[in-house]
């Protein structure tokens, strides 16, 4: 099935391994991104609607037409416990496609949160519900239900390819996508990275310099860095 | 009087009916916007300076020159209890035209809040005062008092036409403008809408799908939506 | 030494007078900017990563290459108690160049905060540490350590020239730069301004108009402002 | 009829006086804007699709939904010789709503050009046809025909209110809207302005300074301008 | 091989069928995009550096680090006659990564043009060489050669997924990506579409309305469109 | 004199050496920027108003208030043959501050062109006059003459510090600033660079790879670049 086909709902998708997802949920977005080799991030305009929001789950992808949230209702039925809806739009759009009614429906289906490259509304209610959302905009503007998109096709969301079943991790730093088949390995690498950082943090707190801890002085000198006394 | 005339202050404006304004104050921006037929919203770059800000009042409009807040001082005198100042600029500008001194003055005149398509400053003080402001930017940059604008002429603010006396409702979702003569009818429609939504919310929470509640399955099928099993 | 030279670290810089810095720390950014004659502000896209952040200290400047935070490690060693790191990039870039490890290191050296015309990450940890940061973006995207920049050369950061040793004051309203040699005078002028504003605030709160307090009625009339009764 | 009502086509609109339009067609956008008292301009992101494009005609207004050009087909039938279509969208959108087929249709109806706060495509063909268009974007992205908008209702296009029948003048400098009832007076004022500018141009070309021609030296001195010799 | 892996050059890629590419070269971007079912377009910020630029060829993809054009030199060696280089960056960047020297090299290898989600320079020389380029920016800013990216891995460029060997068609309207395996079918559909449009164009030129040609009157009425006489 | 002081005109500035300026005029912006060590460029949003515009001259700097072009009239009198006016604004502004009348005046004084971090108008006339301008916007919006700025103080224009008398070189690639005292040395370095590039261009045209000419293969391998056959 080609990317971007319109008018399609794929019912049965393969989701990332549950244990790997559980393990990934313990790490921050920045750590996971580094553990993956510095790839996988959505663009930084994707911001949480409230401070402290965080989520880790498997992607149910949605492709919508600008100003039209019809497919979000279709997507609700495809959500399984542990899923995160990931919504891409065929063109840049900031309309408020999602609000507290859809959040109620998503949650009733086991949906954990939403990542949407468009706008959302009812943000005060969403924050009170503790329903985590990352979006490109907050907008009260309502949408129509007139044009088909798709559910569970590969999408490009905020500059990143997302396949149905991939792991989505999001926190105050942004949103990272872990390809389904890499989930377990990335979880292991993230854990290793966080351990190593913990050790480094202690040394830095005691006043050691990164220049020494990471052994940068020689490479800096070789690159030509010059220290001037005045 | 033509739109956009400069150098004019209209003293006596007709404000929306008080009871209608009071009724509108009970509803959210998203509901009112839908109740109006999905019109009336300012652009989503207009954001509250603190979470939870909300206001509902009658518009006193102000047209200013970029980098110049002279007319805000003129506007203070035209505010009546229950008014919200709505400031448009002749060109895009983010300077901090409004701060805690003007807020003190506006409040002393009964002004309830500010909607400004420019910048504001002293935002910590404004938040402590609980003086609600929606703006396109936060900026400490000061302005001069050198060029005339107007007060109580029709203005385009953040993409929306505002006439003096219209109702302005603003919350975390944005800012909506209810034309004066439609205020009562929109309040009624908003109430109906919120009631209906409350009922829908319950059904969604219990696991019913919007697809069924809104009867979408047939129209989706007719539009050609295809479900694939794999 | 010419502006923008790459590959240089200036070890010994002259910092603004400590007493002047201490005095400046009592005033807000908006007041200081006005007291300087309405100059000195960085562009308003520079935002604090948490509400209520504020800092006042002496600038250690850093010039970096996009996607590369090598020089931040070099800069850590140049920080003295009371310093604020000011990071400019040779080109627009939003990558997350700074996180909680570097914050730990900066703090261990006495660094008070960061102003960076690029992105930062680990923002939840930074907020918990109460390490104040102003940035153009929040982004988890990691950076490399491959290309030289400079430390303690004059830089243009968010549209404003910063020389090493200048005073940096930042709060919810933005970031202002006070040239080192003007620090004492600006502190005096800021104090005078805040006192005067306090008096004005009282009069405004009692219902006097700025039109009268500032004596604007005559100049407005002379400029041609027309009051219409209807 | 309220602004922004959706689903309406007003068939009979009152157009600006033909002679006034003809006279206005001789002047540039900048001159007309100044002659109107420095008002009436759309935002500067509205750019012609080819250098040297210019048009002067009466507005047939169109309000569309994002990603949907249905109403442009409806609008074609409402165009009369001498009209310029002015398209506003309910929300920011850059899709290519208009191309050479619609241009062919518009021209067949006597339409002179297009001003659209969205995208256009087939720009090479449009340039070859010498069909002048001002738009916010060039985009090949196609649109659907699924959601109603309106024709000949007042709209806000690129920040400016346009009523059906107003005069639209556009050239390389942008787009200005002359309210229907002011057309004749603005034409007279524009002519006077251009004459005066011609005389000033000669004096400036001969080396006189604007400082003297406009008599600015005294006001500058009074404002405190200081000349330093070194 | 996973998307976005860094430090990899894939030498042997499968390119789209030559005959299909040749056929596609006869159609415009807008037609091809419609023929594909309204998908495949890059974002509209990708603009040609000179009017009239157009290209049709097979993609050699490149992933680069911001401010670093090292991989473009690596890519030159992978170009075959008929290829178009498609450059994505790991983060938003507008530096001038490509100029007339690289164009000379690309052309010597048979490269037909460049699509780059970053900046280019030497644009006057490139226009004189008639070397077609689509970019997000024009910038003289030079880059370093210090950090690895990849060649011939799948990339997301200006919001669209591009696999090595896909067909890239670009003209004044923008850039469209035709997946390799769909090239022949899309060429056939594009031809059909252009023929049909030619017939429609004639009818429109003679004054028929799209409303009648496309049979829209009934659906508009059913959707509730109301014609008002005044 | 401190940067950014308002209300000052410095009459006698030291301009870069005439011979150095003449020599620099033979090189492109990209070459000069590289010859300077990859510094000195304004941000790439500064674009020429017509293709092929180019200029090389000494800076007369102007600092203006948004929406106010008063100081441009003051600046005209300070221009000497060979000067280029460089206009910075205290805050982001796109108003059309400069048109054909001021261009006539500037040319009469020997002014060669304009670099303005704001808007310009009358662009068709300016192009016909062959008066080269680089600006952030084209806008017909007129300005007032009410607030003082300064002439011949150091300014930050489009992100770059410009001192009066510095050399400004601008072409289709953008605008570069050469500090006065470095002009002669940079001219020499630019010449060397262009010669070297000419030789490289020939080798590339004959099919040699940059990988070999610049000797990159070994460093790439050392950095870990991996070639995959499939």
From chain D, pick out residues whose CB is under 8 angstroms from the CB of B39: 3-6, 90
Residue A2 has pLDDT above 50, yes or no: no
Q: How confident is the model at residue C1 (pLDDT cuts 50, 70, 90)?
A: very low
Q: What is the pLDDT of residue D230?
A: 79
D34/E25 Cα distance (integer angstroms): 48
Mean pLDDT for each consecutive 10-residue tract of chain D (230 residues)? Answer: 71 97 98 95 98 98 98 98 98 98 98 98 98 98 96 98 98 98 97 96 97 97 94
Q: Does A225 touch chain C (CB under 8 A)?
A: yes
F230/F228 Cα distance (integer angstroms): 6
Q: Does C224 touch chain B (CB under 8 A)?
A: yes
Spatial CA neighbour of E59 closest among E11, E94, E13, E22: E13
CB contact under 8 A, A123 and B172: yes
F129/F127 Cα distance (integer angstroms): 5
D to F CB pairs, distance under 8 Å: 111
CB contact under 8 A, A141 and B41: yes
B to F CB pairs, distance under 8 Å: 51
Which among A4, A37, A160 has the least Cβ separation from residue E156? Answer: A160
From chain C, pick out residues whose CB is under 8 angstroms from the CB of A53: none
Distance from CA of A182 to the nearest CA of B (A): 22
Distance from CA of C151 to the nearest CA of A (A): 9
From chain B, pick out residues whose CB is under 8 angstroms from the CB of C207: 108-109
Q: Does F101 touch chain D (CB under 8 A)?
A: yes
Q: What is the pLDDT of residue A5?
A: 74
Task: List all residues of chain F from 106 to 165 with a beta carbon under 8 Å from chain D.
Answer: 107-109, 119, 121-124, 127, 137-142, 145, 147-148
Which among E76, E109, E139 has the least Cβ separation from residue F44? Answer: E139
Which among A2, A38, A40 has the least Cβ separation from residue E182? Answer: A2
CB contact under 8 A, E109 and F207: yes
From chain B, pick out residues whose CB is under 8 angstroms from the CB of F93: 66-67, 91-93
Distance from CA of C104 to the nearest CA of E (A): 26
Q: What is the pLDDT of residue A230?
A: 79
- Over residues C107-111, mean pLDDT: 98
Q: What is the pLDDT of residue B5?
A: 74
Q: What is the pLDDT of residue B3?
A: 44
Q: How confident is the model at residue B218 (pLDDT cuts 50, 70, 90)?
A: very high
- Over residues C167-184, mean pLDDT: 98
Q: What is the pLDDT of residue A3?
A: 44
Q: Which residue of E has its CA nearest to C144?
A: E147
Burial label, C206 (beta-carbon count in 10 A; 0-12, 13-18, 19+): exposed
Burial label, E135 (beta-carbon count in 10 A; 0-12, 13-18, 19+): buried
Does the model's ipTM exceed the 0.90 cut? yes
What is the sign, positive or negative, of the torsion defined by CA atoms of C197, C202, C203, C205? positive
Residue B79 has pLDDT above 60, yes or no: yes
Q: Is E230 helix (H, G, I), strand (E, B) or coil?
A: coil
Strand ranges for F108-182 from DSSP E:
113-120, 133-138, 150-151, 155-157, 160-162, 167-171, 174-178
The per-residue b/e assignment along C20-29, b for 16 or more CB within 10 angstroms, e otherwise, is bbebbeebbb
- Over residues C117-145, mean pLDDT: 98
Residue E28's Cβ-side half-sphere holds a number of Cα atoms within 13 Å equal to 22
D106/D112 Cα distance (integer angstroms): 8
The pTM is what? 0.97
Residue C142 has pLDDT above 80, yes or no: yes
Q: Which tokens is F85 given? A: 């006016």
CB contact under 8 A, C124 and A29: no
- The answer to whether the CB of F17 falls within 8 A of the CB of F138 is no
Residue B185 has pLDDT above 80, yes or no: yes
CB contact under 8 A, C140 and A201: no
CA B130 from centroid of its chain's CA atoms: 17
Q: How confident is the model at residue B2 (pLDDT cuts 50, 70, 90)?
A: very low
Which among B67, B90, B94 has the least Cβ separation from residue F65? Answer: B67
Length of chain B equals 230
CB contact under 8 A, F216 and E145: yes
Residue F224 has pLDDT above 80, yes or no: yes
Work out the end-to-end distance of chain D between its first and last CA atoms, rounded to an integer number of angstroms.
65
Chains B, F in contact, 3 or more Cβ pairs below 8 Å: yes
Chains C, E in contact, 3 or more Cβ pairs below 8 Å: yes
Q: What is the pLDDT of residue B230?
A: 79
Q: Which residue of C has its CA nearest to B9?
A: C227
- Which chains does D contact via 3+ CB–CB distances below 8 A? A, B, E, F
Q: What is the pLDDT of residue D72?
A: 98
Q: What is the pLDDT of residue E5?
A: 74
Q: Which tokens is B213 given? A: 């509640």
Q: Is A228 helix (H, G, I), strand (E, B) or coil?
A: strand
Chains E, B in contact, 3 or more Cβ pairs below 8 Å: no
Q: Which tokens is D17 given? A: 């006086």
Q: Does F201 touch chain E (CB under 8 A)?
A: yes
Q: What is the pLDDT of residue C195?
A: 95
Task: List all residues of chain B from 34 to 73 with a beta carbon under 8 Å from chain C.
Answer: 50, 70, 73
From chain D, pick out residues whose CB is under 8 angstroms from the CB of A66: 66-67, 91, 93, 95
Q: What is the pLDDT of residues F100-114, one digit of tens each?
A: 999 999 999 999 999
Q: Does A174 touch chain B (CB under 8 A)?
A: no
What is the sign, positive or negative, of the torsion defined by CA atoms of A180, A181, A184, A188? negative
pLDDT by 10s per residue, chain E, length 230: 334 578 999 999 999 999 999 999 999 999 999 999 999 999 999 999 999 999 999 999 999 999 999 999 999 999 999 999 999 999 999 999 999 999 999 999 999 999 999 999 999 999 999 999 999 999 999 999 999 999 999 999 999 999 999 999 999 999 999 999 999 999 999 999 999 999 999 999 999 999 999 999 999 999 999 999 97
């Amino acid at each position: 099935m080609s990317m971007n086909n319109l008018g399609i709902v794929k019912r049965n998708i393969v989701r990332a391994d549950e244990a790997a997802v559980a393990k990934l949920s313990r790490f921050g977005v920045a750590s996971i991104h580094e553990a993956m080799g510095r790839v996988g991030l959505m663009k930084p305009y994707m911001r949480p609607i409230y401070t402290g929001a965080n989520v880790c789950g498997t992607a149910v992808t949605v492709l919508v037409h600008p100003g039209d949230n019809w497919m979000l209702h279709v997507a609700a039925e495809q959500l399984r416990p542990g899923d995160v809806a990931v919504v891409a739009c065929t063109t840049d759009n900031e309309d408020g496609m999602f609000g507290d009614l859809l959040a109620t429906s998503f949650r009733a289906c086991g949906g954990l949160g939403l990542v949407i490259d468009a706008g959302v509304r009812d943000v005060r209610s969403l924050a009170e519900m503790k329903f985590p959302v990352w979006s490109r905009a907050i907008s009260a503007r309502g949408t129509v239900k007139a044009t088909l998109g798709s559910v569970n096709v590969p999408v490009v969301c905020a500059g990143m390819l997302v396949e149905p079943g991939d792991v989505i991790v999001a926190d105050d730093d942004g949103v990272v996508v872990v390809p389904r088949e890499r989930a377990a390995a990335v979880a292991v690498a993230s854990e290793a990275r966080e351990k190593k950082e913990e050790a480094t943090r202690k040394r830095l707190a005691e006043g050691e310099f990164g220049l020494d801890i990471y052994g940068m002085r020689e490479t800096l000198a070789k690159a030509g860095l010059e220290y001037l006394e005045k």
